[in-house]
Each structure stands twice: as C-alpha cells, then as structure tokens.
Structure 1
Amino acid sequence: MKPLRFRGSALDDLRTFSTVARREVGYQLDKVQKGLEPTDWKPMPTIGKGVQEIRVRDETGAFRVIYVAKFSDAIHVLHCFQKKTQRTSKADLDLAAKRYGDLLKELNR
C-alpha cells in the first residue's frame, strides 16, 4: 500500500474539515492507497497530468482533496479545502498547481 504524503498545509487544512467529511476523506484516500478509485472524483488536467480531485459533501458543505497517485513512491495530497462557491477558486487551483510543480522538481532531482 502506498503511503500518503501531504504537501504544504494540506494535512492541517484537512484537519479543519467537519468530522463527517474528515472520515469520508480518510475512507476515500484509503481506497486510493489500495489501488481503487474514490467514490466521487474527477480528473484535474489543468493542474497536471494524473492529478485528481476527491469530492465529498456533508451537511456543512462541499469539500475537495486534490492529489496525484501516479508516482511509485507515494500518493501526494496537494491541497485540501472547503468549497464556498460552485466554481473552484483560482487561488485553490493555483496553489495545487504550484505544489504539483514543486513535487515534479523534487522527484526529478
């Protein structure tokens, strides 16, 4: 099973989710670690090749976890956030893209 590696503040951000959302995200990431697909996800090619987003909802709102699992060393969680609007904010997309770019630089050393 691949380990999870959280980039930047992603783990701290995940810890701010509601208990229900945190548990669901944990369950979905466990599925990814086992090589399975999350229940509700979509590809995020604008951030980078192989990047995906887990979508979770509860009574307090919508939550997102952006990650990449294509590398052999680990599943890299790039960004965790609660959605405030229908459209994902440019700031959230830019942060995930920056963390993905930094990850690629580290892996290519």
Structure 2
Amino acid sequence: MKVIEWLGSSRADVRAFPDDARIEAGWQLELVQRGDDPDDWKPMQIVGAGVREIRVRQASGAFRVIYLATLEDRVLVLHAFQKKTQATSKKDLDLAAQRLKRWKAER
C-alpha cells in the first residue's frame, strides 16, 4: 500500500471537513493507496499530468481532494477544500499546481 504524503495544509483541511465528508474522503484515499480508483473522480490535467480530483458529495456539502497517485511509492495529496460553486476556483487549482511544482523542485 502506498503512503500518503500531505502537502501544505491538505491534511488539516481534510480533518476540518464535517464528519461524513472526512470519513468518505478517507475511504476514497485508502482506495487510491491500494491502487484502485476512487468511486467518483475526474482528471485535473490543468494542475499537472496524472493529477486527479476525488469528488465527495455528502449532506454537509461538496468536497474535493486533489491528488497525484502515479508515483511508485506514494500518493501526494495536493489540496483539499469544500466546493461552493459549480466550477473549481482558479485559486484552488493554482494552489494545487503550486504545491506540486514546489514538491518536484525539492526532489
């Protein structure tokens, strides 16, 4: 099973989700760690090659976890947030891309 590497505030952001969304996001990330696809996801090529977004819809709202799982030994969680509009905000996309770029520069 791959380890999760949390970038920036992503871990704290997931922990701040309401209980139903946090539990669901955790389960979906476990699927990714095992090499499976989450139940509801979409590619986020605008952030970077291989980047995906887990979509969590609960009674408490819509939540997203942007991650990269194409690495051999880890899953990078780039950003997590509550979605409040139909389209993902440029601010959220830019933050995820910036964290990925910084992580790559440190390697």
One fold, TM greater than 0.5?
Answer: yes
Which amino acid in 2 is paired with 1:97?
A
Segments ≥4 residues shifted beyond 4 Å: none
The 5 Å alignment of 1:5-44 reads: 5-44=5-44
**1:86 aligned partner:** 86
Deviations 1:51-72 (A, max 9, x none): 0000001112100000001112
Distance 1:100 1:78 in 2: 7
Alignment root-mean-square deviation, CA: 0.7
Q: Which runs of 5 or more structure 1 residues have no equivalent in the other structure? A: none
Which amino acid in 2 is paired with 1:14?
V
Shift of 1:73: 2.8
Q: How many matched pairs?
A: 107
Given the two structures, how large is their TM-score scaled by the length of structure 1? Answer: 0.95
Deviations 1:37-85 (A, max 9, x none): 0000000000000000000011121000000011123100000000011
Which amino acid in 2 is paired with 1:51?
V
Given the two structures, how large is their TM-score scaled by the length of structure 2? Answer: 0.97
**1:2 aligned partner:** 2
Q: Identity of paired residues, percent? A: 55
Q: Which runs of 5 or more structure 2 residues have no equivalent in the other structure? A: none
